[in-house]
């Protein structure tokens, strides 16, 4: 704005979404311009589009240790989760398996899928988590029944970054027909993800959480796993997801994932360094701070922290005024301002949950930005605390 000091904005909300990388935009452009063929067409334009989709499928598969035929392209993490929970349960029901097990800290894309199934008469068990937000794999084992069709436990939580013991849950499912789904939307591109090492049958990925375009993602489905499609129509995606493929989106997604996988070690180290610096500076300079989630088993990128007596929304709004983008624990339900069910599941009371804010660092953040955010926090937290004590 005229006459105002230009404030460079600082984006620390990468768990909500990420900027699309320049190389990714470049790679997508031809498929938005000249190469508009339908991959199902027999002519040259169609064949070129088909080639692009299949090359993308190979890249996505290779990055998680899967085979290309095991990758189903979807419209994103939400659809992949719906397919992995609802689609798979509907198929398993035909085999007499109408019981779903999931955890108390799932993303809405999974937890609302579970509620929908419950409304439709399925049995649902929700496994509780400990204080750090981790499930105990034995709780899953105890909940298993002969009619359990699907177990869905997320790999890393979007609010706290807590990583779940997926491979240990898989051990308990070995030799059973029960399908194991994991929402790996936050994990992919930040920690190593290999479907055979994890022992999962289904795994959800979303492109826009890893510097790809929005509206595209994938569900890994182990060969032979049952699935009832949610979108019906043409024979696309091996009959598992009808609809003309989002060619530019798929091309961009595959490149973003490929790059993220190649750069994983360097980037996670850089991002963890920034996150740890932020956490240390905050703890050194501000009193009454508590970490939310497991301090060890967490993504390199997420810092969920509570400033005692400081309402999360007020802090998010004040930081936004200073050009800094972060999230509060109720980001997904901002309209209702209800505390996040995930935070309540960790055993926080409503008051505490209402103070949780999430910083999610990304590849383009810098130490200078971390330091600027810390300086701002020192002022804003004290300002909000004194406003509060003045009122009471
Ligand atoms: C963002 C997110 C989703 C939803 O993915 P979309 O591509 O936005 O639909 C699902 N699960 C987790 C853990 C997420 O963070």
To test the pocket of ligand 1, the residue of 16, 18, 77 to mutate (highest count of ligand atoms within 8 Å of its CB) is 77
Q: Is residue 149 within 8 Å of residue 88, measured between CB atoms?
A: yes
Please give the share of the chain, as a percent, with pLDDT higher than 70: 96
- Confidence (pLDDT) at 335: 56
Tell me what pLDDT residue 388 has.
82
10-15+264-391 and 22-262: identical CATH topology? no
pLDDT on residue 329 = 72
Q: Are 12 and 361 in contact (CB under 8 A)?
A: yes
What pLDDT is attached to residue 332? 46
- Report the C-alpha gap between 228 and 241 in whole angstroms: 9
The residue whose CA is least distant from atom 5 of ligand 1 is 77
348-371 tens-digit pLDDT? 999 999 999 999 999 999 999 999
Which pLDDT belongs to residue 390? 83
Give kind and range of the element (H or E) at residue 42.
Answer: none
At 241-258, the pLDDT tens digits run: 999 999 999 999 999 999
Domains of the chain by residue range = 10-15+264-391, 22-262
Residue 332 catalytic?
A: yes
Phi-psi region of 83 (alpha: psi -120 to 50; beta: other; left: phi over 0): alpha
pLDDT digits (tens, 9 = 90+) for 320-345: 999 999 999 754 445 566 788 999 99
CATH among 1.10.150.110, 1.10.357.10, 3.40.640.10, 2.60.15.10 for 22-262 = 3.40.640.10
73, 109, 216, 246: residue to mutate for ligand 1 pocket, most atoms within 8 A of CB: 109
Given the residues 144, 290, 325, 332, the one annotated as active site = 332
Q: What is the pLDDT of residues 268-293, one digit of tens each?
A: 999 999 999 999 999 999 999 999 99
Q: SS3 for 128?
A: coil
Question: What value does the mean pLDDT take over residues 168-181?
Answer: 97
The yes-or-no verdict on residue 392 having pLDDT over 80 is no
The domain 10-15+264-391 is placed in CATH, from the list 1.10.357.10, 3.90.1150.10, 2.60.40.60, 3.40.50.300, at 3.90.1150.10
- Tell me: the pLDDT tens digits for 110-162? 999 999 999 999 999 999 999 899 999 999 999 999 999 999 999 999 999 99
Per-residue HEC secondary structure of 271-300 comes to HHHHHHHHHHHHHHHCCCEEECCCCCCECC
Query: Phi, psi at residue 180, to the nearest 5°?
Result: -115, 115
Mean pLDDT is lowest, of 3-12, 191-200, 318-327, for: 3-12
Closest residue by CA, ligand 1 atom 8: 77
H or E stretch including 57? helix 44-63
Read off the pTM: 0.96
Ligand 1 pocket (Cβ < 6 Å) reads: 76-78, 81, 107, 109, 154, 158, 183, 185-186, 206, 208-209, 217
């Amino acid at each position: 704005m005229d006459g105002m000091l230009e404030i460079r904005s600082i984006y620390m909300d990468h768990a909500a979404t990420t900027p699309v990388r320049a190389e990714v935009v470049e790679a997508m452009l031809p498929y938005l311009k000249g190469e508009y063929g339908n991959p199902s067409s027999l002519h040259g334009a169609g064949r070129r589009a088909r080639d692009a989709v299949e090359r993308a499928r190979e890249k996505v598969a290779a990055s998680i240790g899967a085979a290309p035929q095991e990758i189903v392209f979807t419209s994103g993490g939400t659809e992949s989760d719906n397919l992995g929970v609802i689609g798979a349960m509907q198929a398993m029901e035909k085999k007499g398996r109408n019981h779903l097990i999931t955890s108390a800290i799932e993303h809405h894309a999974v937890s609302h899928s579970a509620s929908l199934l419950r409304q439709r008469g399925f049995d649902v068990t929700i496994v509780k988590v400990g204080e750090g937000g981790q499930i105990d794999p034995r709780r899953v084992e105890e909940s298993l029944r002969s009619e359990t069709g699907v177990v869905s436990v997320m790999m890393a939580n979007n609010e706290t970054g807590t990583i779940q013991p997926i491979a240990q849950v898989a051990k308990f499912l070995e030799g059973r027909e029960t399908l194991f789904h994991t929402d790996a939307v936050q994990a992919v591109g930040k920690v190593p993800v290999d479907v055979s090492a994890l022992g999962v049958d289904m795994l959800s990925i979303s492109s826009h959480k890893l510097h790809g375009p929005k509206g595209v993602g994938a569900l890994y489905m182990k060969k032979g796993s049952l699935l009832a499609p949610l979108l019906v129509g043409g024979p696309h995606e091996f009959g598992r997801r009808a609809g003309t493929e989002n060619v530019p989106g798929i091309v961009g997604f595959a490149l973003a994932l490929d790059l993220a996988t190649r750069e994983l070690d360097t980037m996670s180290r850089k991002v963890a360094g920034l996150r740890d610096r932020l956490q240390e500076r905050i703890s050194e300079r501000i009193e009454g701070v508590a970490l939310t989630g497991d301090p060890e088993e967490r993504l390199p990128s997420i810092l969920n922290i509570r400033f005692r007596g400081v309402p999360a929304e007020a802090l998010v709004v004040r930081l936004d005024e200073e050009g800094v983008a972060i999230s509060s624990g109720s980001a997904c339900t901002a309209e209702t301002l209800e505390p996040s069910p995930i935070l309540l599941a960790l055993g926080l009371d409503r008051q505490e949950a209402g103070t949780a804010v999430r910083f999610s660092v990304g590849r383009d953040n810098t130490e200078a930005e971390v330091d600027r955010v810390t300086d701002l926090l020192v002022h804003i937290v004290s300002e909000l605390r004194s406003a509060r004590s003045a009122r009471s």
